[in-house]
Structure 1
Amino acid sequence: MKDRLLPAAIIPAILDLAIRNRLNVETLLHSAEVDPGVLSHSGTFVSVEQQLKLFDAAYQGMNNPAFGLLLGESIQYHSLDLVGQLIATSRNVQEALDELFLFKDLVTPLTSFSLETLGFNAVLVYSVDRVLVKSNWIAHHDVMAASIFSIANAIIPQGLRLTKVRFVHTQPDYVDEYQRIFNTSVEFGCLRNELVFDKRQLSEPLLTSYPEYHSGVRARAKDKLKSIESRETLAAKVAYFISRNLGAAATQLEDVAANFNMTPRTLQRKLKLENTSFVTIRDQCRHQRALRDLSDPGVDMEELAELLGFSDISNFYHAFKRWQGESPGAYRKQALANRGL
């Protein structure tokens, strides 16, 4: 996944915040191995790893634990290139969220989203890939919540009427910043990251709605997704396919080969040319998903073993110990302790 490419749309927002805090942009770009050309050319791409490095470098340079909230607060829909345009020109809040979920890999491939309706509330749930985001993950939670709220307030007539905001991380020292930005009840140490709001807003028209323009932007967004896929190695494409479909669709060799219009033998041969194998990639995807889900106390271990494609929990146990060097139970205990749960 770290090899996956994405448009460099979010980088100017990071650099703008860095400049306002008197950080040297050249130093930041160099530390993240990002070509300065991303600042002068639209349509450029960076790897997920480069974006993570730049995020971490800016975070360290500012030396402000509220970095994620400040960055998210500064992001507007135009900061997100085509995805931002899709969101802003949607007919209503529901359609805007649908577009975010569908095209989120153009801006935030390490984040997963879902939407639930409970009683009078709509609940936007999101999670950050804890396997790949190894550092400053609280800041990643912060930037996601603050940017969604910031963009929503710019395009919804009366703003997003939040009733509660929940975070999985424990309460940090800068709790006043959360109150300043969200101006509602904020809870920490929860099972999920959630933005809870009045579900009637889902059908609320947007100030910036423009259906005729929207259809054209959507076509361009689809083309950009295809462009990203065409630049990636086959191994990266296979890993992405397996990661997205674990527990949702078949991910055996035959299924993955069919998705790429290849025979299993051809797929294995091409992966060998990239110095990897199907089994290696599938194990990496299973390992990453296991690490992520074991840090969630609401995930049942037997159900996780089944989701990952193991015939029983014993086989999952042995595989995890081979991957991680410790049992899944021991890993979960430490992961939950790190979260204060």
Structure 2
Amino acid sequence: MKERMVPAAIIPAIMDLAIKNRLNIESILTRADVGLAVERDSGTYVSISQQLRIFNAAYDVMDNPAFGLLLGESIQYHSLDLVGQLIATSQNVQEALDELFQFKDLITPFTTFSLEIKGQDAVLVYSVDSTMVRENLPVHHDVVASSVVSIANAIIAEGVRLKRVCFIHDKPEYLDHYHRIFGDCVEFGSVRNEVVFDRAQLQEPLLTSYPDYHDGVKTLAKEKLRSIESRESLAAKVNYYIARNIGVASTSLEDVASHFNVTPRTMQRKLKQENTSFVAIRDACRHDRALRDLADPSIDVDALAELLGFSDTSNFYHAFKRWQGVSPGAYRKQALAERGLN
């Protein structure tokens, strides 16, 4: 299956951090097995695996456990290409978050975001897909929270009024960096990664708001998303569509084929030409989603089975044991133990 491509927008920020710390950029790219053209051309596309290899190589070469926080601090809205421009030129915080949610795949397709309102709190929830990001997961959590807060502080007049910043990973040794960036409201070993701030700020105008320019950038962002999709095989498109719509919309063969404006028979024939099948792709998406959600202790197994489209929990148990070799309960116990949670 041809791998999804993304603009190399975050790579310059990694390179800038490397330069500030007097690291050899060529050694990082060599270690990641990625050509120098990625660093030189901001318009370059890279595969998700290439982006992750560069990230991991920079983390290894820098040899600083606070790498994620430092990288997040160095990322400003102009570091994130069209997505950063959309965020900065939005009218208020709510619109900026809406744009992040819609176009985040242009910068971080393995991260999901949602916003919850709880009383006077606005809760930005995010998760990094551990089936895609298999190394240095806590470092990715650090990057997301640090960059969100750094960008918010740059475009909100008085900065973001943080109430809590929660991480699912355990308390690390480099606490001083967390306190410097987030203050004293940091919590570790949480059920979810959250950035909690004052709900009233959602309607707060941004210093950099520019509605007319914003509309033009949004058109370009939509075109770039379409450009990425046009580079992919049908199998990659189907995989991505199912992964995003599990539990949200129907992922039956008929409905997925309709989304791509082909008949079910045509879709099956084209997927066969790419040496795969609809059943295999949907099975892989269900497997990946199950692995991700079982690592979250707040998600009920019965509810997960229903979300994945199984007629009953027993069928889900049989399928998961076929995929993973162990039951969902055994896998969850192992995943939580690795995070230091009961």
Query: Per the alignment, in what secondary structure is the counterpart of residue 138 of structure 1?
Result: helix
Q: Which moved more, 1:36-45 or 1:207-216?
A: 36-45
What is the SS of the residue equivalent to 1:9?
coil
Q: How many residues align?
A: 341
Q: Please say if 1:182 is aligned against 2:182.
A: yes
Distance 2:161 2:326 in 1: 45
| 1:1-341 alignment runs, 5 A limit | 3-341=3-341
Give, in angstroms, the shift of residue 252 of structure 1: 1.0
Structure 1 stretches of at least 4 aligned residues deviating more than 3 Å after TM superposition: none
Query: In the alignment, is the contact (CA less than 8 A) between 1:87 and 1:97 conserved in 2?
Result: yes
Question: 2:141, 2:172 → 1: CA distance?
Answer: 12
CA distance in 1, matches of 2:19, 2:53: 17
Contact 1:2 1:47 in 2 (8 A): no
CA distance in 2 between partners of 1:63 and 1:40 (Å): 24
In structure 1, list runs of 5 or more residues that go unmatched. none
| TM score, norm. by length of structure 2 | 0.98
SS for the counterpart of 1:123 is: strand
- SS, match of residue 10 in structure 2: helix
The answer to whether the Cα contact below 8 Å between 1:4 and 1:48 also exists between their aligned partners in 2 is yes
Q: Which moved more, 1:38-47 or 1:210-219?
A: 38-47
CA-CA distance at 1:198 after TM superposition: 0.8
Paired AA for residue 26 in structure 1: E
Equivalent-residue separation in structure 2 for 1:225 and 1:247 (angstroms): 23
Which stretch has the larger CA shift, 176-185 or 70-79? Answer: 176-185
- AA aligned to 1:117 is I
Q: Name the CA distance, whole Å, in 2 between partners of 1:31 and 1:324.
A: 31
- CA deviations 1:278-298 (Å, max 9, x no partner) are 111111100000000001111
Classify the secondary structure of the residue corresponding to 2:270. helix
Matched-pair contact (CA < 8 Å) for 1:2–1:132 = no
Assess if the C-alpha contact under 8 Å between 1:18 and 1:24 holds in 2.
yes
Q: Would the aligned equivalents of 2:13 and 2:79 in 1 still touch at CA under 8 Å?
A: yes
Percent identity reads 70
SS at match of 2:228: helix
Quick one: distance in 2 between partners of 1:295 and 1:38?
34
* 1:73 maps to amino acid: E
Cα distance in 1 for partners of 2:31, 2:267 equals 36
Residue 114 of structure 2 aligns to a residue whose secondary structure is strand
Q: Secondary structure at 2:265's aligned position in 1? A: helix
2:2–2:235 Cα contact (<8 Å) kept:
no
Cα deviation, residue 22, structure 1: 2.5
TM-score for both structures, normalised by structure 1: 0.98
CA RMSD of aligned residues (A): 1.2
State the AA in 1 paired with 2:127.
Answer: S
Distance in 1, Cα, partners of 2:180 & 2:2: 34
